[in-house]
Structure 1
Amino acid sequence: MELDFFTPVKEDLLVTDSGKLGSSLKIHLENKAFPDLEGVKIAFFGVLEDRLNEERNGEPFDFNGIRRELYNLYPGNWHLQMADLGDIQRGETVEDTFFAVQSAVNSCLKKGIIPVLLGGSEDIVYAQYRAYDGVEQMVNLVNIDSRFDLGDADKPISNRSYVGSIVVTKPYNLFNYSNLGYQTYFNSQDEIELMDRLFFDAYRLGEVTGDITVVEPVMRDANLVGLDLGAVSGGALGNYRMRSPNGFDGREICALARYAGISDKVSSFGVYEYSSEFNFPASNMLVAQILWYFVEGVNFRKNENTISAKKEFIRYQVPIEEEVLVFYKSPVSGRWWIEIPFISPSNNKLKRHTLLPCTQGDYLDACNQIIPERWYKTKRKNEI
């Protein structure tokens, strides 16, 4: 771990109550040695970068309010060791900040630690994603956001165009991109059509809030997750200066964070678009609870993403049109997967995508001769 990247947490944020979350964290403090990360499963750190925010107000911000609320929450029945590494300050250039973030996330991944980032502008997801450049498989990105953030890849990267940069910039590690909670009036028809042409997944806000369980298989297949606070309603954040009154409420956004945590594949998580405008007690408390629910999810992982676990799955075959769809069900969790034909033997990075998380509803639809849309999109991407 590059210790020079992190500035320590202020000591006046510490809590003295031994029963609260802050008392059990390994915290990088002023005038103290950097914490020993042996045995740590989750590591929090902030990234004080917002220069590529297209609506940047230029005011300084910090995460002290969030830390104060988080440290004072009571933990659940948890058994994982966690750490707070402090903050990555703005580098001389944005590229310097990105390098520090990429290095920090990559170091955590190598140690088996799940990094939980607090941002700054959401373009930091680009650096979070680039930390996966050395992994053996392609990765899936899930973005909880009211916008797709595809932008124009020919223009400089920003918090509204970082996904486009991910798609077109080598090395190509991205297998799938999923957006949860987009609001149509914030996205051009060109972007909506591009999402469809690229066989990416997009779920409108109303679709998710109508049945939040639709996101579970999407999260179960994610490797990295970014959460834009702009996806949350201004009322839920206690911030009525926000431009949009629509978005997820507090309960819904915490449920999404828990789904991300409980996914066996998610290996990094970030909450972005925090600024001085969010420095309200309600905003800080909601972000702290988002982090709490992510940790709660991690503690209840089933570890079903292993060869030995998959050997116990129950197998179902469903003839449909000219295909035979193969479904698997876990006898432990009751969760479902569908097999994707592996068509590109030359691309070893695609091997992990031969089992796609799905729902029991997808199995029942297939029994009624309806091909699951996510199966079709994933199969098409395997063919390209």
Structure 2
Amino acid sequence: MVDIVNHYFEPYKGHIATIPGLSGDERLNACVSFYKGQSDWFTNATFKVVIIGASEARNSVDNKACDKAPDKIRHYLYALSSLSEGLQIGDAGNIRGNSLNDRYRALQEAVSWFVRRNIAVLVIGGSQDLTLPMAKGLLEVRKEGTINLAVGDAVLDIDVNSEDFSSRSWLSYLINELGSKLEDLVVFGTQAYLCSDSQRRFLDSRHYEMQRLGDLRGDNIRNSETLLRDAQAVSIDFRMIKNQPQFGSDLISKHGIEPFDICRILRYAGISERVAVTGIFDVYLDENAESNAMLAAQMLWHFLDGFLGRAHDYPDEESGRYRQYLVPVEGLDEVLSFCRNIENDRWWMKAPQQEGQRWVACSRDDYRMASRNEIPAKWWRLFRKHSETKNIEKNE
């Protein structure tokens, strides 16, 4: 298997930018082990995070130039300030493959290989349709047989009238192909005027979640931490950011996530110990290529900075760090259970699943809603989803 994985990669050979005041060991590249063609690089891996370039955009509808993004982003990423000496990073180079399916298969197997060894994967695209092989590679490793996916995008890449697979229809294709293996999905940062009713119904009918851009404005950006905490895979369309061409053309939109906030979101993804693979896709390089590449590099840097703060954080009554709250809600036969980490004020609630219940990330606001005899939206969504699934199984 090592020989196969070794064959999948072309080493990164690009140059590193110069930033005044940063040089030598003070730059991030000093923390990186670069693959240079040697097979023992994989067998002797001691790094905790690996960067994979996926220079593929043949299925892109409107951003073919994004296949040049991986090396351009690295040019700036490795020039940024180094992080703690305790963080070891690997750069496996760029995915090889003559055909489109070759690239998809190579990415899928590479993600599976690294995650199986408890190495977090950062994928630099390429177009966002690469999320499908990324997710399938993760599924091969998950003993539960399911994944939770968080997607950042200004639009819904859903085409309810076609089964074609592209950067503008990959999400509906992924949902249909993975089926029940996609345990949960949240799409955040969407702009309502760019999403159709049929696209929203497609998500709602499957009890998946959509968080609009307005839900993440200002201090509400903190809500993105809750969205990412349960995810194992994260996929970001770079064009969700302000001043990017979100309409599928060169027309620049004045709306979108602020650059500061997208870096904060990536930091949340880095902190979340459950996130095993993260991809940044569709970086727009036709205009403002250098500044966009630098921003994408800063996003990756914030992920790595967050990764340093990873620590096991999941409700455990015996640890003494968690306090549980039982809240009766009028009209419900059961009492809602909440749990709070008293050290960092993170919250969870017990929500229905296929068998029994599980702790899912929530916010203090969800607890407050329950205290007012209001059912939290996430609990109600998961309750309806699993109730329908059980009814279907009973009738089969």
State TM-score, norm by structure 2. Answer: 0.87
1:299 counterpart = 2:308? yes
Paired position in structure 1 for 2:345? 334
How far residue 63 of structure 1 moved from its aligned partner, in angstroms, is 2.6
Match of 1:19 in 2: 26
Distance 1:56 1:280 in 2: 13
Match of 2:326, SS state, is strand
Shift of 1:207: 1.5
Are 1:88 and 2:95 an aligned pair? yes
1:151 match: 159
TM-score of the superposed pair, with normalisation by structure 1: 0.89
1:4 is aligned to: 7
Conserved 8 A contact 2:233-2:278: yes
Q: Give 1:173's aligned residue.
A: 181
Instruction: Give 1:29 shift.
Output: 3.2
Counterpart AA for 1:148: L
The answer to whether 1:216 aligns with 2:258 is: no
Name the counterpart of 2:170: 162
**Residue in structure 2 matched with residue 348 of structure 1 by the alignment:** none
Q: 1:361 maps to which residue?
A: 365
Q: What are the equivalent positions in structure 2 for 1:68-79 lying under 5 Å apart?
A: 68-77=75-84, 79=86
The SS at the match of 2:201 is helix
Partner of 2:128: 122
* Residue 264 (str. 1) matches residue 270 (str. 2): no
Instruction: Label 1:283 to 1:70 Cα distance change in 2 as closer, same or farther (>3 A).
Output: same
Taking the aligned partners of 1:251 and 1:243, their CA distance within structure 2 comes to: 19
Runs of at least 5 residues in structure 1 that lack an aligned partner in the other structure: 346-350
Measure the CA separation in 2 of the matches of 1:188 and 1:8.
Answer: 42
1:200 to 187, 208, 226: 208
Tell me, yes or no, if structure 1 residue 38 matches structure 2 residue 45. yes
Aligned to 1:325: 336
Report matched runs for 1:240-319 at 5 Å. Answer: 241-274=250-283, 276-277=285-286, 280-305=289-314, 312-319=321-328
State the shift of 1:337 in Å: 0.4
2:101 matched to 1:111? no
Counterpart residue identity of residue 331, structure 1: I
* Distance (whole Å) between structure 1 residues aligned to residue 16 and residue 54 of structure 2: 18
Contact 1:278 1:284 in 2 (8 A): no
In the alignment, the residues of structure 1 paired with residue 54 and residue 313 of structure 2 have an alpha-carbon distance, to the nearest angstrom, of 32
Other structure's SS at 2:352 match: coil
Q: Is the 1:178–1:201 contact (alpha carbons within 8 Å) kept by the matching residues of 2?
A: yes
Aligned equivalents of 1:74 and 1:65: distance in 2? 17
Determine the C-alpha separation between the residues in 1 that align with 2:304 and 2:178: 32
Deviations 1:314-335 (A, max 9, x none): 1110000223100011133221
Q: Structure 1 residues 326, 306: CA separation in 2 closer, same or farther (over 3 Å shift)?
A: closer
CA distance in 1, matches of 2:90, 2:16: 14
Gaps of 5+ in 2: 390-396
Q: In 2, are the aligned partners of 1:78 and 1:299 still within 8 Å (CA)?
A: no
| Range with greater deviation from structure 2 (100-109 or 171-180) | 171-180
Post-superposition Cα deviations, 1:189-232, rounded to whole Å, max 9, x if no partner, equal 11112222221111111221241011111110111000101101
Once the two structures are overlaid, the 10-residue window that deviates more, 166-175 or 55-64, is 55-64
Which piece of structure 1 moves more, 157-166 or 14-23? 14-23
* Aligned residue number for residue 232 of structure 1: 241
Deviation at 1:307, TM superposition (A): 5.7
Which of structure 1's runs of 4+ aligned residues deviate more than 6 A? 30-33, 308-311
Residues 315-360 of structure 1: CA deviation (Å, up to 9, x unaligned)? 1100002231000111332211001134x33xxxxx7x71011111
**Contact 1:139 1:173 survives alignment (8 Å):** yes
Pair 1:76–1:132, CA change in 2 (3 A)? closer
User: What's the Cα RMSD here?
Assistant: 2.7
Say if 1:307 and 1:36 are closer, same or farther in 2 by CA, change over 3 A. farther
* Distance (Å, rounded) in 2 between the aligned partners of 1:246 and 1:320: 39
Conserved? CA contact 1:336–1:357, under 8 Å? yes
- Give me the whole-angstrom Cα distance separating, in 2, the residues matched to 1:76 and 1:56: 32
Shift of 1:308: 7.9
Judge which range, 3-12 or 307-316, deviates more: 307-316
Kindly state the Cα deviation for residue 107 of structure 1 after the two structures are TM-superposed.
0.5
- How many residues align? The count is 374
Structure 2 distance, partners of 1:60, 1:167, is 25
Are 2:31 and 2:87, in contact at CA under 8 Å, matched by a contact in 1? no
For 1:301 and 1:261, locate their aligned partners in 2 and report how far apart those are by CA, in whole Å.
Answer: 7
> Which residue identity is paired with 2:352?
P
Structure 1 counterpart SS, 2:76: helix
Aligned-residue offset at 1:30: 6.5
- Against the structure 1 CA distance between its residues 278 and 307, is the aligned structure 2 distance closer, same or farther, given a 3 Å change threshold? farther
Q: Percent identity?
A: 26
Does 137-146 or 167-176 show the bigger shift?
167-176
Deviations 1:45-68 (A, max 9, x none): 110111111114468625332112
- Report the Cα distance in structure 2 between the residues aligned to 1:11 and 1:57, rounded to whole angstroms: 21
* In 2, Cα distance between equivalents of 1:14 and 1:249: 24
1:275 & 1:268 partners in 2: Cα distance?
A: 22
